[in-house]
Structure 1
Amino acid sequence: MNQKNKLYVGGALGLAVAATLGFGAARLTQPVPAAPQTDSKPAAPGDSVTMSAQDVGQSQIAVGPAMAGALDAAVMASATVEAMPDAQAVLTAHAPGTVTRILKRIGDPVRAGEVLLLVESRDASQIAGDQAAAAARVALARQQAAREQSLVAQGVSARADYETAQANLAVAQAEARRAAGAAGAVRLARDGRSVAVVSPISGRITALPANLGQFVPAETELVRVADPRRIQITASLPVSDAARVRAGDKVELTSGDGGKIEGRVRSSTGVATADTRSATVVIEPSGGSFVPGQLAQVRIFASGLADGGGVKSGVIVPQDAVQTLGDRSVVFVRTDKGFKARPVQVGSRGEGLVSIASGLSAGTKIATSNAFLLKAEIEKNEGGDE
């Protein structure tokens, strides 16, 4: 390489070094952009769950209104399922005698006016004889009155004799009505020697203590009939609690299999009985499969104060209705498209209920059971977005 070429190469190297140094200095003097800041707090999950009515039913998510009242207004009691007073009957024989025919068995359906058994009775025979004799006297008195009327018309007999015959006919007819009334009162059978035991209502036979060939005194219970479709539930409460109960108060009934059924208070005596020292509250269930004689547990949401000074205020929901999303307590309000989580402030808890201090009004339809499924759905959607 000659001297001229060395100069060219040295100049090129110098220019390259100078360019590199200038670019580095420019980079050092430029401001460094700040790193993008990230929110350390995770984004709040979506509060809505889209769910059709069919999906709600398949998921067994119960929906009901939030209840008005305070937590201490709930009154717990044991109750008995009974047939309504006009839906049960205790049947007896109205005359002493021997049971000769039993036409039904326990559990059989019966119709109003149907004969269930026959009791052969000496009293029945006597009543049948009296009725026949009274009917004969009426026939004789009617003939005598007709004859005397004819004789008076012919001028043969005095009018006083006709009036006497008319009075005798009236007495005979009165005696016949008395005999017929006695026969009807004992339910005289067609055979003239038995009394019939007849059901006054339709229903089913729930008890049949009578036995064929058994001698039974008058008014002995032989059959018991009840209509299982018409029931009421009676609960015994201390007077202090019964004074807070009002007609129409909501009731939650728990059947033997643990199922929850709603009902309403029909009436309350408000006074204690002498034997139990407790007041009776009558409850009408809105459904269910209760049968007379069954036991149940009831929770009455009493609307009155013990001193009668007003109505309890507040909102109560089942404990299962309240769920936790992050640091929030929520209930799931029913919407047209599904459910929406609504934050609430929770008060006291007890007996499977939670009082809501704020965030929810009475009557709002919410998920009352299996609400955890909605919570799980929201949490699942939150995890899928990350």
Structure 2
Amino acid sequence: MNRKSLIVIIGLFVAGIVLAGMILTLKPPVANDEEEHAGSAGQSETFPRGPHHGRLLTKNGFALEIVIYETGVPPQFRIYPYQNEKPLPPGQVQADITLHRFGGRSETFRFKPEADYLIGDAVVEEPHSFDVAVNARFGGNAYQFAYSQVEGRVQLSPASLKSAGITVETAGPAEIESVLKLPGTIEFDQNRFAHVVPRVGGVVVDARKKLGEAVAQGEVLAVLESRDLADLKSRLATARKRLELARSLYRREAQLWREKISAEQDYLQAKTQLAEAEIAVATAKDQLEALGLEADPRKYPGNLARYELRSPLNGTVIEKHLVVGESVQADATVLVIADLSQVWGNFSVPANDLNRVNVGQKVRVKAPELGLEAEATIDYLGALVGEQTRSAPGHVHIDNPEQRWRPGLFVNIEVIEEKAAVPVAVMLEGVQTWHDAEAVFVQVGDQFEVRPLRLGRRDASRAEVLQGLAAGEHYAAANSFVLKAELGKAGAAHEH
């Protein structure tokens, strides 16, 4: 082995010894669950800690280690007692803890022995920010301890509140509307909608109405010339002439038969011809009346082929499929007329929500794109559930005198289930998410503290408070997200 190789080997050996020494001097990581939930997030230790990494309170050789334990359970107080740094049986110590929270609320916890600690009798609600008073009794002596821990608080001056646009509201009673929100569309009222067909083939000689033009019931929309119509009118006129002749012949034959001049066979033949003529006239009249025309020849215009196509209702021309000179079929839809003064709001109700919706129920119809809102009543709810959609169709009637609700528009249907008076409610704009829970920022003076809530019923603007906030307490409403951002910048220490 040459001199250079020996130097390299010695250098590597020395470097290994140095690294090993550094590793051995490093403090090993703590994996204890209680340290995980008892430590200070992002802060250095500012108070003595016990073996379970909780706050250690000591007086005259007697000590209590206070831990808020929340691994797999709701947060709970645990107290580990010691005498001269040695664990005490928990049954020999009596203790209680009183918390004085932000805004003047107080809570007292009683303790009982369990395993090697004392356990509190209630859940320690978030935030874990309070002044703590500890009373303990051991060996005939009483011990009192006090300390404070703060988390989830933000301080803002009135000027900062104003510049951030943060408003403060007071929690209190309110009326909550429970609503079921469903998507919907505006459609034509099918009871005020008509497809116009000529019912006779012909050629358009006059198209009087334009697309989008208002029309009145009975107004002429277009004029056709129809060879078939001319044939029908001619057939009726011919049938009438034959009827006149048949009546005259019948009267003459009846008179001759009564006078015993002609045979009965001639009389019966004349009677049969009269009946056939009457049937021919009636058939021709029915054919004309089926086209909406009167069978009175005195009212025919000079042109027997002229056919006036009239509107069946008051409304607006929304489709037009004819031009002058065009040949149209008898069953072709040449115009569509709709009365837009009232429209439908169509929606579908999922099967699992059908027990929440009934005919006659009040709804709000909203079109966010146009800023429109209307109140209506459910007029129809389908009796069948669609095989593919698993929902039942329904609709409401919406008055539309200004024709701002346009068919095809997407809308939100809010079915109003009930109105309920609740003792405490908050504005939804003030509700933020904190530690995976809904919360508001409660104000006392120039300080705000995050307060987790349990919310109940809610409507478009308010939510019922079931737990976490009392009537009369002040909280941030508009722009409360600014406080959440400030809390995030401050680190939001979770000190146990």
TM-score of the alignment, normalized to the shorter chain, above 0.5: yes
For residue 180 of structure 2, what is the aligned residue in structure 1? 74
Identity of aligned residues (%): 22
Which SS does the other structure have where 2:200 is aligned?
A: coil
1:300 to 398, 407, 414: 414
For residue 381 of structure 2, what is the aligned residue in structure 1? 268
For residue 178 of structure 1, what is the aligned residue in structure 2? 283
Q: Deviation string for 1:328-371 (max 9, x for gaps)? A: 9xxxxxxxxxxxxxxxx99347673434468xxxxxxxxxxxxx
1:131 to 230, 236, 240: 236
Q: Deviation string for 1:214-239 (max 9, x for gaps)? A: 12222111111111113222113333
- Kindly state the Cα deviation for residue 184 of structure 1 after the two structures are TM-superposed: 2.2
Which SS does the other structure have where 2:356 is aligned?
A: coil
Q: Deviation string for 1:183-210 (max 9, x for gaps)? A: 2223457432143322111222222121
**TM-score (normalizing by structure 2):** 0.47
2:269 to 164, 179, 185: 164
2:216 to 106, 111, 117: 111
Q: Relative to 1, partners in 2 of residues 1:110 and 1:319: Cα closer, same or farther, differing over 3 Å?
A: farther
The structure in which a higher percent of residues are helix is 1
Aligned-residue RMSD, C-alpha: 3.9
Q: Distance in 2 between matches of 1:146 and 1:236?
A: 70
Q: Distance in 2 between matches of 1:195 and 1:222?
A: 14
**TM-score (normalizing by structure 1):** 0.59
Q: Relative to 1, partners in 2 of residues 1:299 and 1:107: Cα closer, same or farther, differing over 3 Å?
A: closer
Which SS does the other structure have where 1:86 is aligned?
A: helix
- Kindly state the Cα deviation for residue 180 of structure 1 after the two structures are TM-superposed: 1.3
For residue 462 of structure 2, what is the aligned residue in structure 1? 354
1:235-274 equivalent positions in 2, closer than 5 A: 235-255=347-367, 256-273=369-386
Q: Distance in 2 between matches of 1:261 and 1:120?
A: 47
For residue 220 of structure 1, what is the aligned residue in structure 2? 332
For residue 121 of structure 1, what is the aligned residue in structure 2? 226
Comparing 153-162 and 262-271, the one that deviates more: 153-162
- Kindly state the Cα deviation for residue 251 of structure 1 after the two structures are TM-superposed: 1.0
Which SS does the other structure have where 1:221 is aligned?
A: coil
Tell me if structure 2 keeps the 8 A contact 1:94–1:195. no
For residue 315 of structure 2, what is the aligned residue in structure 1? 203
Which residue identity does 1:252 align to in structure 2? R
Which residue identity does 1:132 align to in structure 2? A
- Kindly state the Cα deviation for residue 142 of structure 1 after the two structures are TM-superposed: 1.3
Q: Distance in 1 between matches of 2:407 and 2:333?
A: 18
* Structure 2: runs of 5 or more not aligned: 1-102, 105-173, 294-299, 432-439, 445-452, 467-477, 479-496
Tell me if structure 2 keeps the 8 A contact 1:81–1:296. no
Q: Distance in 1 between matches of 2:426 and 2:185?
A: 21
Which residue identity does 1:258 align to in structure 2? G
- Kindly state the Cα deviation for residue 114 of structure 1 after the two structures are TM-superposed: 2.3
- Kindly state the Cα deviation for residue 282 of structure 1 after the two structures are TM-superposed: 1.0
Q: Distance in 1 between matches of 2:315 and 2:204?
A: 22
Which SS does the other structure have where 1:162 is aligned?
A: helix
- Kindly state the Cα deviation for residue 250 of structure 1 after the two structures are TM-superposed: 1.7
Which residue identity does 2:226 align to in structure 1? S
Tell me if structure 1 keeps the 8 A contact 2:243–2:281. yes
Which residue identity does 1:81 align to in structure 2? E
- Kindly state the Cα deviation for residue 277 of structure 1 after the two structures are TM-superposed: 5.4
The structure in which a higher percent of residues are strand is 2
Q: Relative to 1, partners in 2 of residues 1:122 and 1:243: Cα closer, same or farther, differing over 3 Å?
A: farther
Q: Distance in 2 between matches of 1:99 and 1:322?
A: 66
* Structure 1: runs of 5 or more not aligned: 1-39, 42-64, 304-311, 329-344, 359-371, 373-386
- Kindly state the Cα deviation for residue 120 of structure 1 after the two structures are TM-superposed: 2.0
